[in-house]
Amino acid sequence: MVSLHSPLHGRRLPLAYDRSVRRVDKDGHLFVDKCTLSSAIVSQYYGWEIPDGESLGFTRDRLYRLYRDADALRTAAPSLNGKPILMDHTAITAQTHPHQKVVGAVGSDVRFENPNLAGSLSFWAPEAIEAIQSGRMRSVSAGYRYRAVKAAGSHNGERYDGIMTSIHFNHLALVEAPRVPDAVIGDSLPTMDMKKMADSLENLISERMTFLKNPSGVNANDFNEAWLAKLDEALTGEQQDDTRAMDGRRMSGAGWRSGPERLSGVLAPLSRIKVLG
């Protein structure tokens, strides 16, 4: 059996397309009010990834399906409170603390909400905040010790070859690729009325098509500026100030459709939309 001193094994998770909310304070620090940190699901691992895998009968180069036990996650929840968030996986202790890799911390509110382990996060380092805000790195991966039990069974219709028990968390890492699909860093957009937004976009598209078919002497630049301000408002839920809304995408020359650089102003707000589960 594997002791709790066995090597750490990271489990990648997307940081929230659930209904988590992120915010930036006046000092530029990023806070995630709620994020899925782990989940009681079945995931695939190679035999060499499993602690003491060979002695348990797991073949080194074969893929196995392990169930992350719900009771084990519930019991382990307090061990993730206050743990550091790193830019990559590194097993750490107080004596071997990698100061240069620490970019934030897990909150003190980690709890089990079946089937997920959830909690708040804070990020302090600019490289981590930029990676999250740009979408380049929006997943977390938990580093933890566990004991593997070789036992066949099924969970929610998915078969497994073994069970993870005696979980104890060591850190959280910021990563690009998720292993558990429900943990993605959230935006404030989930609070929007999606039905209202859809109706607004439909009306705006109709308004634009009508203008393109019959400009009726309306100045194209004036129409585009007003229309883009309304588009931005529909996508973000924020009313635009006419004195600044168009500063980053003011158009000139032949008009809105004259080149890709002009499309960037229209497409930029679309990057704020996230698929909501």
Instruction: Report whether pLDDT(36) > 70.
Output: yes
**How far is the C-alpha of 13 from the C-alpha of 185, rounded, in Å?**
10
Cβ contact 110:118 at 8 Å: yes
- For residue 180, give both structure tokens: 């558990």
* Angle CA 106–111–116, to nearest 5: 100
Instruction: Report whether pLDDT(260) > 60.
Output: no
- For residue 237, give both structure tokens: 């839920």
Give the residue, 91 or 104, on which the prediction is more confident: 104
Query: What tens digit of pLDDT does each residue of 222-253 get?
Result: 788 887 878 777 765 544 443 332 223 333 33
Mean predicted confidence (pLDDT) in 120-128 = 95
Q: Which residue has the tokens 């004036």?
A: 222
Q: What is the pTM assigned to this prediction?
A: 0.61
Mapping DSSP to helix (H, G, I), strand (E, B) and coil, where does residue 159 land? strand
Q: Is 35 left (phi over 0), alpha (psi -120 to 50) or beta?
A: beta
Q: Which of 136, 139, 156 is nearest to 68 (CA)?
A: 156
DSSP 184: B
Query: What tens digit of pLDDT does each residue of 150-206 get?
Result: 999 999 999 999 999 999 999 998 887 656 666 556 543 333 455 566 767 788 888
Give the residue, 49 or 234, on which the prediction is more confident: 49
Instruction: Kindly report the backbone phi and psi dihedral angles of residue 85, in degrees, each rounded to the nearest multiple of 5, phi listed first.
Output: -105, 130
